[in-house]
Structure 1
Amino acid sequence: MTESPVRGRTARRRDDPLSTWMPAVTDTLRAINAEQDLPHVLTLIARHACELLDLKQCAVYVLRSDATFRLEGSHGLTPDYVAWANLEPMRLSESTASSGPPTARAALTMNPVCVRNIFDEPGLDRWHTMMTREGFHSVLAAPLRAADQTAMGTITGYTTEDRLFEAEQIRLMTLLSDHAAVAIAAARRRDSERAAIAELSSANEELLAHQRRMARLHVVQQELTRLLLQDVGLAGIAEFLAGELDAAIRIDTDDGTELATAPMDSPLHTWLETVAHDEAGTARVMEAGGSGRTRGSGRTDPVAVCLAPTTGAGLSRTRLWAARTSRDRFDEDERWAMQGCALLIALERSRLERQSEAEARLTKDLLADLLSPAAMVHSESVMARATALGYHPHGPHTLALFVPVPDDSVPAPAAAIPEITTTLLGLTRGMRPRPVVGSIGDSVVVLLPGDYTHCAEGSPPTALGSLAGHAREATGGAVRCVVGPPVPSLAEIQPSLAVASRAGSLLTTASPEIVSMPDLGVYALLLESGSGEALTRFAEATLAPIADSDLKRGGWLLPTLHTWLRAGMSTRGTAERLFVHPNTVGYRLKRVAAATGLDLSSPADLMSLQLALMVFEVRGDPRLRGGQRQAG
């Protein structure tokens, strides 16, 4: 290869054959096509520049969006210089068309820049130390041109001796700069495509996951619709959703009245009940889009809660709650499913209410006919109608009378009748054989097939006890249940209803929650012939002397008499129940006889006392508890 002297150095001749630089071009293009990383390609170009132009060092700078240069590839430069150049990057604003760093000038003017002695250039003071360490002397910088002819950076070569670059060398440097620009453009396009592919792949995965969730939730709603058609009720719906969402479910109204919960053994139900009655807590959940996460009152583990309200039939709204122990909120798909389920639940509640109203009207008409002598002239027709409504008219039944007792929450008993009727109809809808539920006057009658007569307060839970408990919840506790004598068939409810109604007229807020007439024996039959007012007057007149004595002395005469009669008139049995000496019982009974003028050995006098005590017991008279003394 022929070389010509250039200021003490040699340079390649203009008429060098193509083979002298074509291999470098081929290597560069091969690296670009192989999609090797950008620093590797740019370092390869820098090495070829040093070899072709007989340079000591070469660097490829990339112009970034903030108008600073980053050294992306180099050959011959020390690691310290590369690190310093990127730590204290060159700025495009540090140059002009005729001064400043040659690298920045080449990018600014879009023309090659040759500097014979770098230390003679103005505006390079902050580079002097590092240039001295690297041994820089002459510099050749060529701009990297983008397709739109804007600067992408520069390729800059350095010599350690004085050199005047020839046109052929400048042209070759420009050619290498074009290859570097192609490499950068290809790398950027490749990175952009990879980012777009990754974004599309991620979006596709999210879409597929969303479609899977939607398909599952669609199945949930289809299954829920099927359950609604099967008339499983709100309890069945709550149980189904609890399994599908792996959460504790509560269905209630916006005043906190519980309609259904599932699963029954979930420890979250107590927490949910507290949140459901907390207006501020409910508002916070709604402000968060119907989903939130909290530790809740009395809990140390995080609880995710979701609330889906919707407009329901009547004046109240149906609310669907879901809660589970989790650090993650219910996601958007689950909240969407909850909203859809809440709407179906509201529709089901509306249907049940309309169904209950229709059943209440039909049952009320049936009860009216059963109690009407004129209608019962054609008893076969009435019994046939009862059978058509799903009842068993010819079998024995237990009559229960639910009576609202006036207090602060229910000042007018009649206002509570529709709520009690709807509640009891909902609870008995799935019972087979089917009970008769309907209103008569200011009370609600339930005729349960079978014998539930022994259901006094404190007895084991029964179907009747469960109905009484839910009726109390529906009215805030302002309702009492009277169990009448057994009913042989629906055609013979009049006597039992008369006894229960008489007892109902005696009820007060202090009465037991369940009063069983069969437990009162033959004395309950006297309720058929006497009004509530007359019986109350009789009881007061009979027991007043004893009650007055107790009130004055804080005594136990009335409780002792009551216990003695319940103990079968056994003095020892009474003493054991009252934890006193038998002689004390005998002394108190003598005082009872003296105060009333009645003979406790006379059957007639005993019957009078028993009847009076029965009235006090039904009314829940506190004087039966004893130990009361007149104030002052």
Structure 2
Amino acid sequence: MTHRSPGAQGSLEIHRWLDSVRAITQTVVAAQPLTPVLDLIADTAAGLMGYEFCGVLLPDPSGQRLTIEGSSGLSREYIDQVNADHPVLLNQSAGPEAPSSKAFRTGAPVAIADIQAEPQFAPWGGVAREQGYRSMISVPLLESGQGVIGTLNCYRSGIHKFGQQEIALLAVLADHAAIALTTSRLRSAEAIRMEELVLLNRELHTQRDLLEKSEDIHQKLTDIALRGGGVPGIAAALSILISRPVLIEDSQGAVIGRSDPDAGFPDDRTRTGMRDEGSANFKVFPVLLNESEVARIWTVTEAGPLTPLETRAVEHATVITSLELLRVRTAEEAQWRLQGEVLNDLLGGEPSALDTIHARAERLGHDLSIDHTMVGLSLSGVAQGDKDACLQQGLRRINAWASTLKPRPLCAIHHDRIVVLLPTSLESSTTDATMVERIRKMAASRRPHATATAVSRGPITGISMYPRAYRSTSGALNMLALAGRTDTSVTFDDLGLLGLLLQLDDSSQLLRYTERSLGPVRRHDESRGTELLKTLRTYFSAGQISMDTARLLQVHPNTVAQRLRRIQTLTQKDLSRPDHAMDLAAALSIGDIADTSPQPAQV
């Protein structure tokens, strides 16, 4: 048998320790995850010191307790039970303090030779018996500058008194373990930072590529606008860029550009509802101008959502569309202002303005030397605050249509109405109801419950006739509005006698006529609070049938008969005579509109 000297045995022990520490260091250098490093530390302590069980305890993220994060010989059940049901609490103010907590708090080793003889260990006695240990020591893991970062716990199955040399060796091992733990954490943090840097670098490259492609998209869309492609050209170019159908509509829902007529976009009414409810098959992008929505871009998402680059392309298209609409609107406003000035001077009849009216109109593409039909249009069912916008929308549609015609009609807004002067050579006759109805529908707002009413008069054969024609047209529109006849087109021939009377040059004659016929009745109503004029108006609208009149007024038939007798006495007219009844009916209708008709210009 070969005997080794004590010096040789010490040398071997030193080599064993160095090899063990080197193994820990190599594991850290190899950038192993934290849990294997902690397990190796526990295995090294158990192997070097001959312990049955070892564990490495670290503070949890809250810093309120220690949990077992690395082990040697400890069962998974024991680790889970301690961590969940019997955690080592830090900063505990009441109750017995665990050895590990005390070692972590004081920074000094805590050893228990016999846990059954220590009353303060009672809370952990059950799990100790299950695991099978009788003595233990907890050594703090100290890191320079950070203090205690954890504990190394070692357990023996029997009673054992931990000597000073043993504790000193454990302290050395704990110091190496603390260095290894800190280094591993730093490497892990560095690895995470490196991974974040790689991801950030990749994202920066992606963003750079996206910006380069985005600039290219913006340039292509801008080129379309500069070449005069307009909104339809923008829709076509965007469709090619994103490989999806595109539809562009104005704020009223009218289509102003689309890439494919057969793309299957919803109709105007359905799109209006979908803007509020949304759809899985379509995505809508607003086009803003001065923070107001002036248009919308629709695209199809049925085959899949838009990619970031496609989304960026549509966003660029909204900007280019906004600029294009601003350019068009600016040009339109300039054209409308000039057309409006010509029309206002023409309808006002000021002699000094009429001297140059032909030349000014000709510069705008209009020939006032030929005969025209005047079409007056008024809007109903539109809030007063929205009327200007709706009039401009209607005028925009009518002007777009008029720009395709020769001779070109003159269209403008005069006061709160749209006036269109149609060259009679465009029509098959001066009462072409089809063209007038077409203009009325173009003027109508697309808003719910909004309608347009049109009155046409022609032919107008000279400059001097325009002021009179407008006064009578405006009076007819007033009369239709008072009578509740909206959403219709009429000519002066349709108005019969009233149409002839409205063409009188001096509306004061109409006022005298209605005052002469109905003045006594009106004064009777005003002085006594009666409703004779209302009864008369209802009587004529009911076909001069007293029973129907009473039903409409919700009064007794005898009351109607009494009121009619009073009207006949005041007017000296017999309602049973057709000529007398016609005089009163005409006076009633003319009285409703004469006060609101524009007065003749002072020439």
Please indicate, yes or no, whether the TM-score normalized by the shorter chain is above 0.5: yes
- Deviation at residue 126 of structure 1 after TM alignment: 1.9
- After superposition, the Cα gap between the structure-2 partners of 1:531 and 1:397, relative to the gap in structure 1 and judged at 3 Å, is closer
Which residue pairs with 2:116 in the alignment?
119
Which residue pairs with 2:330 in the alignment?
351
Q: 1:132-180: per-residue Cα shift (whole Å, max 9, x none)? A: 2333233333221123251111122222234444555434322332332
Say which of 521, 539, 544 aligns to 1:551.
544
- Deviation at residue 58 of structure 1 after TM alignment: 1.6
Q: 1:57-112: per-residue Cα shift (whole Å, max 9, x none)? A: 2212223342322212222222322222222322234699xx85443333222233
- After superposition, the Cα gap between the structure-2 partners of 1:128 and 1:353, relative to the gap in structure 1 and judged at 3 Å, is same
Which residue pairs with 2:363 in the alignment?
388
| Pairing 1:515–2:490 present | yes
Q: 1:568-593: per-residue Cα shift (whole Å, max 9, x none)? A: xxxxxxxxxxxxxxxxxxxxxxxxxx
Correspondences of 1:426-505 after superposition (within 5 Å): 427-429=398-400, 431-433=403-405, 434-438=408-412, 444-447=419-422, 451-453=426-428, 459=434, 465-473=437-445, 480-485=453-458, 505=475
| Pairing 1:44–2:17 present | no
- After superposition, the Cα gap between the structure-2 partners of 1:513 and 1:39, relative to the gap in structure 1 and judged at 3 Å, is same
Name which of structure 1's ranges 22-31 and 104-113 shifts more when overlaid on structure 2.
104-113
* Runs of 5+ unmatched residues, structure 2: 518-539, 549-576, 591-603
Alignment check: 8 A CA contact 2:372 2:458 kept: yes
Q: 1:471-517: per-residue Cα shift (whole Å, max 9, x none)? A: 34399867643445578xxx967779977875665452337732357
Q: Aligned to 2:120, what secondary structure does the other structure show?
A: coil
| Pairing 1:25–2:21 present | yes
The code of the aligned residue for 1:92 comes to L
- Deviation at residue 27 of structure 1 after TM alignment: 1.5
Alignment check: 8 A CA contact 1:499 1:524 kept: no
Correspondences of 1:132-211 after superposition (within 5 Å): 132-200=129-197
Q: Give the Cα–Cα distance (whole angstroms) in 2 for the partners of residues 449 and 57 of structure 1.
A: 110
Which residue pairs with 1:90 in the alignment?
88
Alignment check: 8 A CA contact 2:456 2:473 kept: no
Q: Give the Cα–Cα distance (whole angstroms) in 2 for the partners of residues 512 and 73 of structure 1.
A: 86
Q: 1:506-559: per-residue Cα shift (whole Å, max 9, x none)? A: 452337732357x98x9999899966989999xxx9xxxxx899534999xxxx
Say which of 359, 376, 383 aligns to 1:402.
376
Q: 1:218-271: per-residue Cα shift (whole Å, max 9, x none)? A: 77777777677678888988999999898876654xxxx778777697548547
The code of the aligned residue for 1:142 comes to V
Question: How many pairs were matched up?
Answer: 509
The code of the aligned residue for 2:422 comes to L
Q: Aligned to 2:445, what secondary structure does the other structure show?
A: helix
- Deviation at residue 54 of structure 1 after TM alignment: 1.8
Percent identity of the aligned residues? 20
The code of the aligned residue for 1:91 comes to L
Alignment check: 8 A CA contact 1:357 1:422 kept: no
Q: Aligned to 2:145, what secondary structure does the other structure show?
A: coil
Which residue pairs with 1:606 in the alignment?
none
Which residue pairs with 1:591 in the alignment?
none
The code of the aligned residue for 1:428 comes to N
- Deviation at residue 389 of structure 1 after TM alignment: 2.4
Say which of 65, 69, 93 aligns to 2:66.
69
- After superposition, the Cα gap between the structure-2 partners of 1:272 and 1:205, relative to the gap in structure 1 and judged at 3 Å, is farther
Q: Give the Cα–Cα distance (whole angstroms) in 2 for the partners of residues 162 and 403 of structure 1.
A: 109
Name which of structure 1's ranges 134-143 and 20-29 shifts more when overlaid on structure 2.
134-143
Q: Give the Cα–Cα distance (whole angstroms) in 1 for the partners of residues 150 and 377 of structure 2.
A: 93
Alignment check: 8 A CA contact 2:250 2:294 kept: yes
The code of the aligned residue for 1:424 comes to L
* Cα RMSD (Å): 6.2
- After superposition, the Cα gap between the structure-2 partners of 1:69 and 1:375, relative to the gap in structure 1 and judged at 3 Å, is closer
The code of the aligned residue for 1:53 comes to M
Q: Give the Cα–Cα distance (whole angstroms) in 1 for the partners of residues 182 and 73 of structure 2.
A: 25
- After superposition, the Cα gap between the structure-2 partners of 1:494 and 1:238, relative to the gap in structure 1 and judged at 3 Å, is farther
Q: Give the Cα–Cα distance (whole angstroms) in 2 for the partners of residues 23 and 192 of structure 1.
A: 27
* Runs of 5+ unmatched residues, structure 1: 6-11, 277-293, 542-546, 556-594, 598-608, 620-632
- After superposition, the Cα gap between the structure-2 partners of 1:79 and 1:444, relative to the gap in structure 1 and judged at 3 Å, is closer
Alignment check: 8 A CA contact 2:339 2:364 kept: no
- After superposition, the Cα gap between the structure-2 partners of 1:74 and 1:419, relative to the gap in structure 1 and judged at 3 Å, is closer
Alignment check: 8 A CA contact 2:20 2:44 kept: yes
The code of the aligned residue for 1:59 comes to G
TM-score by length of 1: 0.59
